[in-house]
Amino acid sequence: MLIDRQARIIEKKSWGNYYLFRIESPEIAGRAEPGQFLMIKVSNHLPPLLRRPISLHNAENGAVEIFFQVAGTGTRLLAEKEVGSTMDLLGPLGRGFTVEQKLKGQEVFCVGGGRGIAPLYFLARKLKKTGAKPVVFYGGRTKEDLPLTNKLKELGLEVMVSTDDGSAGFSGLVTALVGETLATRSPAFLYACGPEAMMENLAQLCQRKNLPAEFSLESIMGCGFGACFGCVRKIKRNGQPSYLKICQEGPVFGLEEIVWQEKENG
Amino acid sequence: MVDLSVDLGFLKLKSPVLAASGTFGYGLEFKPFYDLNALGGFVIKGLYFSPREGNKPPRLVETPCGLINSIGLQGVGVEKFCQEILPQLAQLDTAIIVNVCGEDEDEYARVAEYLNHYEGISAFELNISCPNVREGGRCPAQNPEATYRTVKKVKEVSSVPLITKLSPNVTDIVSVALAAQEAGSQAISLINTILAMAIDIENRRPRLNNIFGGLSGPAIKPVAVRMVFQVARAVSVPVIGMGGIFSAEDALEFIMAGASAVQVGTANFVDPDVCLKIINDLKNWAEQHGVEKISNLVGCVKI
Ligand SMILES: Cc1cc2nc3c(=O)[nH]c(=O)nc-3n(C[C@H](O)[C@H](O)[C@H](O)COP(=O)(O)OP(=O)(O)OC[C@H]3O[C@@H](n4cnc5c(N)ncnc54)[C@H](O)[C@@H]3O)c2cc1C
Ligand SMILES: Cc1cc2nc3c(=O)[nH]c(=O)nc-3n(C[C@H](O)[C@H](O)[C@H](O)COP(=O)(O)O)c2cc1C
Ligand code: FES
């Protein structure tokens, strides 16, 4: 866990509301694992007061990449940064995805909804290196919500896309596409990141199929490193469900550990 | 060489900068970022007798230059704190202050009694001012009589020096401060968070599950400086000031208003090493202004 106050943006791409930055930060890149995240200061002035959590989309050759969608003030300010300017990064934070050696030679599913695809690129690269065969499912509202399709394909992976409006790939929710695919194929593991409803749906699928899985959860974060207790969710770890810190114990949790929000509220 | 040390009478601090309760975890969370021995000290997260689950999320909402929290004092309880956490803090050479909480006067006293038996605690900070655990944000610090009773009760059983932490959610802060002093508190710290609320206009609901929370951060600083000024003029015990301190300049305002030491809260979330920076900047400021001893500035504001 480090603070890099002089991380330089060396590349910037954008597609509508989505942005991808490559940022030079050798020490953070050297330690980063898929599923971990950064807390980013979006501006040198107040407001906004707090840093914003953004997943590590990739880490390679002394640089990290982030992929994000503008969701409000903080991400809008972040999007305004230009190549050559510096950023203040805190990371890598949290516990990432588990990639076990026994996945070697096995097919595994990585399911990303919208901006949730961000950490799955990094994960898919690691899975591939381990010798697993990742299949990436990438769902969006329309084809404009799938800017990373080519980048994923360039990794040499099988990529299946879905859109709610049918403008690209499978027409319907990504969960339906995964469900359909599971009728004929039996992956050894499933990883997912995306909207809560998508992940909860996938969790039910996995339970029915006895498919082990991990999910990357979101929460509003005050600090990102365990100091504020603001980011908690109900998690079953070692027995009874209790409030665990998403930033420290997660953001990635196992299928059996998560108490889905609707259940908790109901 | 600027002398940063502070003598509170019952406790000597290396520097006037402490980290505030609830914003510094159990201290351990900050070890990766810097040597905690540079601090004047830090205040542990609020401690009840038993472990507590805290409030239901969402527990945080950001507002302009502020943060509203309704954590509700999720924490480990005295037993686990003394067995597992305190020993890890024992090697540190800095003041360790425990923020003591209770549902009622008896619980405050029980926490203090339990902790008395352990080495390595420099002082208790009686948190009679948390807005997040009782309905409507009520707490003993809201009236002088309840403050007096609670402080007195803890004072009777405690073998560790007492600081009492006040709430800004009162009409007359001075009367509460005087009650705490009269009951034997050796210092006063203030302010805790300001009772607050934010609404999501799209779904017409409060943004916090708890409805109310406590506002902290730069937004509350002017209110805090005013209250520190009022209290410091009225009491004879030292005052520890806090509320929105993000820089050495902010800290100096509190010191000039009458605070012998300051606590830094929310800023730790944004820059985990902010306390270190504030200490260094204080040193530089004093050098540039020909101030030999920081404590010479306490209460120096000219009226
Ligand atoms: C571990 C983690 C990893 C993340 N990774 C990415 C990523 O790789 N790419 C990406 O685009 N987004 C990611 N997010 C979500 C991102 O942090 C939020 O979109 C961002 O904080 C919103 O800030 P804002 O100032 O733009 O919006 P605000 O104006 O603060 O809020 C806009 C909306 O976003 C919601 N929101 C605010 N903070 C968060 C938060 N911490 N998490 C989720 N929703 C929030 C608010 O409730 C509101 O509905 C991640 C979140 C977490 C917790
Ligand atoms: C997330 C959070 C948790 C807090 N928990 C406690 C606590 O356990 N006990 C306490 O006395 N004050 C607690 N406080 C109040 C702070 O110690 C401090 O009084 C207040 O935040 C004002 O300072 P700041 O503006 O620098 O944060 C908490 C504040 C925040 C933001
Ligand atoms: S975000 Fe502060 S504890 Fe998790």
> Does residue B283 sit within a domain?
yes
Bridge partners (DSSP) listed for residue A244: A233
What is the reported pLDDT for A165? 97
| Among candidate residues B297, B25, B42, the one with its CA nearest the CA of residue B189 | B42
Work out the burial of residue B134: count CB atoms within 10 Å of its CB; fewer than 13 is exposed, 13-18 middle, 19 or more buried: exposed
Task: Give pLDDT tens digits for A139-160.
Answer: 999 999 999 999 999 999 999 9
Domain count, chain B: 1
DSSP symbols for A205-232: HHHHHT--EEEE-----SSSSSSS--SE
Q: Identify the residues whose C-beta falls under 6 Å from ligand 1.
A: A 37, 48, 52-55, 67-69, 71-75, 115, 118, 218-221, 251
What is the reported pLDDT for B139? 80
Q: Of B130, B139, B275, B300, which residue is the catalytic one?
A: B130
- A248 CA distance to ligand 3 middle (Å): 7
H or E stretch covering A19: strand A18-24
| Among candidate residues B124, B152, B126, the one with its CA nearest the CA of residue B139 | B126
Which portions of chain A are predicted below pLDDT 50? 266
Task: Give pLDDT tens digits for B147-158.
Answer: 999 999 999 999
Bridge partners (DSSP) listed for residue A55: A37
> Does residue B302 sit within a domain?
no
Task: Give pLDDT tens digits for A100-113.
Answer: 999 999 999 999 99
Please identify which residue in the block is written with the tokens 């934070």: A93
> Does residue B60 sit within a domain?
no
What is the reported pLDDT for A266? 45
**Which residue of B216, B223, B245 sits with most ligand 2 atoms within 8 Å of its CB, as the best mutation to test the pocket?**
B216
Please judge whether B57 and A229 are an interchain contact, meaning their C-beta atoms are less than 8 angstroms apart: no
- CATH label of the domain that carries residue B240: 3.20.20.70
Give the tokens for residue B91: 């090697």
> Does residue B303 sit within a domain?
no
Work out the burial of residue A206: count CB atoms within 10 Å of its CB; fewer than 13 is exposed, 13-18 middle, 19 or more buried: buried
> Catalytic annotation on B130?
yes
> Does residue B29 sit within a domain?
yes
* Ligand 2 pocket member B243 (CB < 6 A): yes
- Cα(A60)–Cα(A26) distance, rounded to whole angstroms? 9
Task: Give pLDDT tens digits for B81-139.
Answer: 999 999 999 889 999 999 999 988 899 999 999 999 899 999 999 999 866 666 555 68
d(CA B277, nearest CA chain A) in Å: 14
User: What are phi and psi for residue B153, nearest 5 degrees?
Assistant: -60, -45
| Among candidate residues A137, A213, A208, the one with its CA nearest the CA of residue A175 | A137
- Spell out the domains of chain A, with CATH numbers in brackets: 3-93 (2.40.30.10), 101-265 (3.40.50.80)
Average pLDDT, integer, range B249-256: 98
Quote the domain boundaries for residue B149: 6-54+73-193+217-297
Whole-structure pTM over 0.80, yes or no?
A: yes
Average pLDDT, integer, range B279-302: 97
> Does residue B208 sit within a domain?
no
Task: Give pLDDT tens digits for B157-202.
Answer: 999 999 999 999 999 999 999 999 999 999 999 999 999 999 999 9
Please identify which residue in the block is written with the tokens 């404590």: B295
> Does residue B129 sit within a domain?
yes
What is the reported pLDDT for B15? 97
Helix (H, G, I), strand (E, B) or coil at A159: strand
What is the reported pLDDT for B136? 55
Contacts of B100 by beta carbon, 8 Å cutoff, 6+ apart: B46, B47, B108, B111, B112, B115, B124, B125, B126, B127, B154
> Does residue B210 sit within a domain?
no
